[in-house]
Structure 1
Amino acid sequence: MRKLANTVALAALATGITTGAMATEWNVSVWGKPRAFTSHVEVLNEMLQEKTGGAFKLNISYGGLSSNKENLDGISIGAFEMAQFCAGYHEDKNPTLTVLELPFIGVNTLEEEVAVSQALYAHPAVAKDLGRWNARLLMPSPMPQYNIVGTGEVRDTVAKMDGMRVRATGGLGEAFKAVGAVPTSVTATETYNAMESGVVDTVSFAQHAHLAFRTIDQADWWTANLNPGTVNCPIVVNTDAYDALSDEERAALDSSIEPALAHYLEVYGEVLKKWDAVLAEREVTKVMFTEEELDKFRAVAAGPARAAWIEKMSAQGIPAQELVDLVDSTLADNR
């Protein structure tokens, strides 16, 4: 009898029929360190384990699986099951998403950023675009409008931005280029060293990233109201991995997205409260652009950038005007 029991146990191990082997574990590639920007992924993991009794968990890696610019490539080959990336890192890989990185598109709040992102992610052209990488869009990482920290001369007019070396990606980089600045798209993790070595003298980030990547530690000044735009950084999953989930696991994942985003917004609210205190502590000058200067920036960067994006994407067979209209209508519907 004992021999039979041992034989059955060995057979079970060989076929993976054990409680441990039945658990579903997904590897998740993000970067930096745990922060507001990744808080929805962290709480998603907690909710999945709670809903499934520990049978579905996420192994979240901060830079150990891939570089942030290669996360979409890793998803495409199944190197890991979930990842975060920013559209501006590689426009050619995800052109449809870059509509949300156009300058001055009119998003005012994180809630509006969630709304326009989810509307865009649900569009068939966007799903097809990401489908080329075997990627399924899961949820956004909504961020407020970017602003810049800088060293040396305060850049408080459009004219003073001429020649400014700024870390800015995607549409934001194009916006700064339009006013004579010199944008560079170094990754977030490379930015502190780029600023320290003088490769850039200004950095465009949302507040959490200025804190997380310590660019605020080098700053002399901060633009409080430039608000040129932001980047779109979705969480995606490998389509094959998603399709392989059981009905119960898929339901646990899908039903956790909205609560995870709600948690993210709450955490980010605390970051914004902390920001002013950090500026005061480090004696960073708060720069306010006049409405006249902001209008100059918008005139040079907003309309031309949108027109150029529509022309470029339409030439690639992307329904560009339709995507722009979707953003506008979604914003109108949420106000």
Structure 2
Amino acid sequence: MIKTMLRSAVAAAALSLAAGTAMAEPLKFAHWVPPAHTLTASTIEPLQAAVADSGLEIQVYPGGELGAGPLEQYVRVVQGVADLVWGLQGYTSSQFPLTMISELPGALPEGMTGYDMLWNAYEAGQLDGEFPGTVPVALWLSEPNVFIMKDHDIRTPEDLAGLKIRVSGSAAAAAVEALGATPVQMPAGEIYNSLQTGLIDGVITGASAIGDFKLDEVANSYTLNAPLGHISFYVVMNKAKYDALPEEQKAALDAIKGRPLSQSAEEGWIARADQVIEEISNTGDNTVYTLTDEERAAFEELTYPIRDRVVGEVGGAEVLATMQGQ
């Protein structure tokens, strides 16, 4: 269904812009989180600053102003409702089976950045089919996923038996199932109420989300250093709008799109995560626990085989090797 919608949207967008001229109006950047989210300082503001001297203005529409629904972000930009959007590949995992490899536990080599991983594969042409009708402007990974729990301390895989754990996409869902819990997929904006009301027992996501979505108000136990993978993000631009940019504006955008903007985004996510972990550790009313190497190994025995199985299912061995710089 998602792929059919995208094909139709790509065709319609191409027809509607075929006779157009270069736009003088600002580009519309849509997303669904509040302006105070990490996205603004790490990604949007550097992008705006980089293109400002070329005369290219980027106007931001936060909080779903151009359409509610985080899952519809990609279709929204292809249809031309927005010119640029931010989103999570995991929300529509079936559209991004090869990109999702980067999220799997054990996929990101020690000492390597997530954005290099993704751009290695994209620049090799291995992810082209997953971004129809758009030009990727930034691709990156979050900080490592952690357990964010309400009234449950996680030290061993057995501690997760029978619990309902929110995940953002298929990679985390596979890991949760391997650990004996039930994955519940929902957008980040729904986590707070779901955790507060007991619809879910916990969350797997990056620590930055604790601060960005105020999860510290409803969670009270956090476990770090578990092999739970990462979350992948994108900023993409409508391809027809990109192609129609005046040369000076396109050159300014080209100078920051790709790895430079992705590096800024990823480093912003990691810095925010470090800040949040320090904050929740100092409040005195939380349990913040870092698994020992021995404790981590017990989780690795269950989650690392998931990486190999999923890579095999999507025929992604070559893509993973390219991502890892092999």
Give the TM-score of the pair, scaled to structure 1.
0.82
8 Å contact from structure 1 (residues 56, 249) kept in 2: no
Distance 1:82 1:94, change over 3 A: same
Q: What are the equivalent positions in structure 2 for 1:108-257 lying under 5 Å apart?
A: 108=110, 112-131=113-132, 134-168=133-167, 169-257=169-257
Compute the displacement of 1:282 (Å). 5.2
> Alignment length, in residue pairs?
301
Distance 1:196 1:274, change over 3 A: closer
More relative contact order in 1 or in 2 (CA 8 Å, sep 6+)?
Answer: 2
Q: What do the CA deviations read for 1:255-286 (whole angstroms, capped 9, x no partner)?
A: 12355445445544542135313331252111
Q: Does 1:323 align with 2:319?
A: yes
Distance 1:86 1:242, change over 3 A: same
Q: Distance in 1 between matches of 2:115 and 2:173?
A: 22
8 Å contact from structure 1 (residues 41, 260) kept in 2: no
Q: What do the CA deviations read for 1:201-225 (whole angstroms, capped 9, x no partner)?
A: 1111212211111112222211121
Structure exhibiting the larger radius of gyration computed from Cα positions? 1
Runs of at least 5 residues in structure 1 that lack an aligned partner in the other structure: 1-15, 315-319, 331-335
Distance 1:285 1:252, change over 3 A: same
Q: Does 1:75 align with 2:77?
A: yes
Compute the displacement of 1:69 (Å). 0.6
Task: Give the letter aligned to residue 164 of structure 1.
Answer: L
Q: Does 1:100 align with 2:96?
A: no
8 Å contact from structure 1 (residues 157, 289) kept in 2: no
Aligned partner of residue 85 in structure 1, secondary structure: strand
Q: Distance in 2 between matches of 1:22 and 1:237?
A: 14
8 Å contact from structure 1 (residues 87, 170) kept in 2: no
Q: Distance in 1 between matches of 2:289 and 2:322?
A: 33
Task: Give the letter aligned to residue 124 of structure 2.
Answer: H
Q: Distance in 1 between matches of 2:116 and 2:140?
A: 12
Q: Distance in 2 between matches of 1:282 and 1:138?
A: 41
Distance 1:120 1:25, change over 3 A: same
Q: What are the equivalent positions in structure 2 for 1:287-306 lying under 5 Å apart?
A: 287-303=289-305, 305-306=306-307
Give the one of 40, 45, 48 matched to 1:45. 48
Q: Distance in 2 between matches of 1:58 and 1:296?
A: 48
8 Å contact from structure 1 (residues 116, 327) kept in 2: yes
Q: Does 1:310 align with 2:311?
A: yes
Q: Distance in 2 between matches of 1:140 and 1:196?
A: 32
Aligned partner of residue 137 in structure 2, secondary structure: strand
Compute the displacement of 1:173 (Å). 1.5
Q: Distance in 1 between matches of 2:261 and 2:324?
A: 26
Task: Give the letter aligned to residue 302 of structure 2.
Answer: V
Aligned identity (percent) is 21
Q: What do the CA deviations read for 1:213-245 (whole angstroms, capped 9, x no partner)?
A: 111222221112114111111111111111111
Distance 1:278 1:179, change over 3 A: closer
Distance 1:59 1:106, change over 3 A: closer
Q: Distance in 2 between matches of 1:297 and 1:103?
A: 10
8 Å contact from structure 1 (residues 101, 170) kept in 2: no
Distance 1:77 1:265, change over 3 A: closer
Distance 1:261 1:324, change over 3 A: closer
Q: Distance in 1 between matches of 2:260 and 2:127?
A: 24
Compute the displacement of 1:57 (Å). 2.5
Task: Give the letter aligned to residue 292 of structure 1.
Answer: E
Compute the displacement of 1:154 (Å). 1.0
Aligned partner of residue 140 in structure 1, secondary structure: strand
Aligned partner of residue 163 in structure 1, secondary structure: coil
Q: Distance in 1 between matches of 2:196 and 2:214?
A: 11
8 Å contact from structure 2 (residues 33, 62) kept in 1: no
Aligned-pair Cα RMSD in Å: 2.4
Compute the displacement of 1:96 (Å). 1.9
Q: Distance in 2 between matches of 1:179 and 1:57?
A: 44
